[in-house]
């Protein structure tokens, strides 16, 4: 049995007061000053006392973060002077895809390393577009089940990166004649992607790299952003470069275990004509470092299925398919969502009987632990995550950095002592949640989850089977 993988959480407080959802406001006018003030007696979370101590220490009042929304004070005040409000800043968090709930949940996980838990059932819409259209399955009585999180059964979340042979061949003397290509196992099916934006500094990148090595994952970094302090973490870094600059970054390629190449982009079908050229370039890199595994980075678009098929047949080891940070395809009108693209790619490779030979990484819009499980169900081997890493460092997705405005939470100023455990906590919480869903599904290996749509239920199927409704 492999050594049990576990990330020990190290609770790490936020540097800035986080934005909470609810708060109370009061009209002191009309206050009787009665001795039974709700502020003293009603709040079981002692928020009003905490506020007083904040004020005494001349610190800002944090009630919008502390309030747990029980309404006791509102309902018990003798004169009914208190009102509950929704913090306007809360509604401004994030955007249409990265909702305030996702951001708060990520902050919580980065701070505590724990699985978010709440009472009172599910509160959201019946179904929303995207990952929400998938339910994962569970095992019950008639199928074997696994006791995951509380740990009597070990559930492996390890995946392999690299090309695999479908079969081994032996000669007449039973000696192995197949040449097994290099591959690497990582203990969790995710790596860190480059960030679409962010108030980045070398310390931020260094902290992320350190977190990647701590949790046993890899981090993709643009070769031009590489700096010497990253050397100790190079074995966990994936330099990203365009194929023309292979010679320029020889030194990094020599040391790296995996590199990611951006093929020449001539637009549209152009890349297809260069399949041979890409494979040549990869060979060139392998001459610099024979143990190197190469990932090919492709944007998701309407040609993706075809391109992946071509590349997989030509011997590609890893293909990294990138959607935008909302999980949409990158071209034009009516973009497909990442789950549909990956399902298409996976099925095409399965039909061509070459799915097992190549590793598929999916990225873009992977915001929550369940998205990780669901994209693997759709057919990816693993995912690359981006914005959650930044949100772990308290990013509010205000996108000021895109306009060269100052970051409200000064991410460029973080220290590794703060940033590394925050990211590790988040990954630890995701890992625990992945184990929860795997256990519920009765699986002991995340590798068996790949493309396992039999352990998922899709909205369009259920609506059709139950109500005869066709969702287009």
Interacting residue ranges for other proteins, rule: CB under 8 A: 22, 44-45, 68-72, 74-80, 83-86, 105, 115-127, 132, 134-145, 147-150, 152, 368-370, 373-374, 433, 436-437, 439-441, 457, 462, 465-467, 469
Residue 343 CA from chain centroid, whole number: 18
Q: Taking the CA atoms of the chain, what radius of gyration do you get in angstroms?
A: 25
**Residue of 398, 391, 395, 396 lying closest to 425 (CA atoms):** 391
- The strand pairing partners of 262, in sequence order, are 242
Give the residue with the Cβ less far from other proteins, 74 or 293.
74
Task: State the nearest-atom distance from the C-beta of 305 to other proteins, in Å.
Answer: 27
Give the residue with the Cβ less far from other proteins, 6 or 266.
6
Give the residue with the Cβ less far from other proteins, 316 or 369.
369
Task: State the nearest-atom distance from the C-beta of 54 to other proteins, in Å.
Answer: 19
Give the residue with the Cβ less far from other proteins, 85 or 177.
85
Check: CB of residue 182 under 8 Å from CB of residue 470.
no
Give the residue with the Cβ less far from other proteins, 94 or 239.
94
Give the residue with the Cβ less far from other proteins, 109 or 275.
109
**Residue of 349, 335, 341, 306 lying closest to 321 (CA atoms):** 341
CA dist 274 and 262 (Å) reads 12
- The strand pairing partners of 271, in sequence order, are none
CA dist 316 and 112 (Å) reads 39
Give the residue with the Cβ less far from other proteins, 295 or 425.
425
CA dist 280 and 261 (Å) reads 12
Task: State the nearest-atom distance from the C-beta of 75 to other proteins, in Å.
Answer: 4
Give the residue with the Cβ less far from other proteins, 264 or 453.
453
3-state per-residue secondary structure call for 190-238: EEECCCCCCCCCHHHHHHHHHHHHHHCCCEEEEHHHCCHHHHHHHHHEE
| CA triple 38-44-46, angle to 5 deg | 80
Task: State the nearest-atom distance from the C-beta of 426 to other proteins, in Å.
Answer: 14
Residue 278, H or E segment: helix 275-288
Work out whether strand 82-86 and strand 22-26 pair parallel, antiparallel, or are unpaired: antiparallel
CA dist 82 and 74 (Å) reads 5
């Amino acid at each position: 049995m492999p050594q049990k993988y576990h990330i020990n959480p190290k609770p790490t407080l936020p540097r800035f007061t986080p934005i909470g959802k609810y708060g109370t406001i009061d009209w002191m006018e009309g206050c009787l000053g009665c001795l039974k003030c709700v502020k003293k007696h009603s709040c079981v979370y002692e928020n009003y006392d905490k506020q007083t101590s904040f004020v005494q220490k001349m610190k800002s009042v944090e009630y919008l973060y502390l309030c747990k929304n029980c309404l006791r004070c509102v309902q018990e005040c003798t004169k009914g002077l208190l009102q509950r409000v929704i913090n306007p800043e809360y509604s401004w968090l994030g955007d249409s895809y990265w909702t305030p709930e996702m951001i708060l949940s990520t902050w919580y996980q980065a701070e505590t390393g724990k699985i978010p838990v709440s009472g009172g059932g599910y509160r959201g819409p019946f179904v929303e577009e995207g990952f929400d259209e998938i339910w994962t399955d569970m095992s019950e009585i008639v199928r074997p089940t696994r006791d995951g999180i509380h740990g009597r059964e070990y559930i492996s979340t390890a995946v392999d990166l690299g090309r695999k042979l479908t079969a081994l061949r032996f000669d007449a003397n039973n000696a192995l004649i197949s040449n097994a290509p290099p591959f690497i196992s990582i203990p969790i099916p995710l790596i860190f992607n480059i960030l679409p934006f962010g108030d980045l500094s070398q310390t931020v990148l260094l902290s992320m790299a350190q977190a990647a090595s701590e949790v046993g994952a890899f981090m993709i970094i643009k070769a031009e952003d590489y700096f010497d302090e990253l050397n100790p973490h190079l074995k966990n870094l994936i330099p990203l470069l365009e194929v023309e600059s292979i010679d320029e970054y020889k030194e990094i390629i020599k040391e790296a275990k995996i590199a990611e190449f951006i093929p020449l982009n001539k637009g549209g079908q152009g890349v297809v004509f260069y399949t041979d050229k890409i494979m040549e370039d990869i060979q060139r890199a392998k001459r610099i470092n024979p143990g190197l595994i190469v990932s090919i980075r492709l944007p998701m678009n309407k040609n993706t299925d075809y391109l992946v098929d071509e590349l997989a047949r030509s011997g590609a080891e890893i293909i990294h398919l990138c959607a935008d940070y909302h999980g949409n395809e990158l071209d034009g009108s009516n973009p497909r969502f990442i789950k549909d693209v990956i399902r298409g790619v996976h099925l095409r490779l399965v039909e061509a009987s070459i799915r097992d030979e190549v590793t598929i990484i999916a990225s873009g819009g992977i915001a929550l632990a369940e998205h990780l499980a669901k994209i693997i169900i759709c057919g990816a081997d693993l995912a690359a995550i981006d914005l959650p890493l930044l949100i772990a460092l308290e990013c509010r997705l205000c996108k000021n950095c895109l306009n060269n405005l100052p970051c409200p939470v000064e991410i460029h100023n973080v220290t590794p002592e703060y940033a590394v455990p925050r990211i590790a906590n988040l990954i630890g919480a995701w890992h625990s949640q992945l184990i929860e869903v795997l256990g519920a599904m009765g699986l002991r290996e995340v590798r068996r989850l790949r493309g396992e749509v039999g352990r998922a239920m899709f909205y369009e199927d259920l609506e059709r089977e139950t109500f005869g409704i066709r969702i287009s």
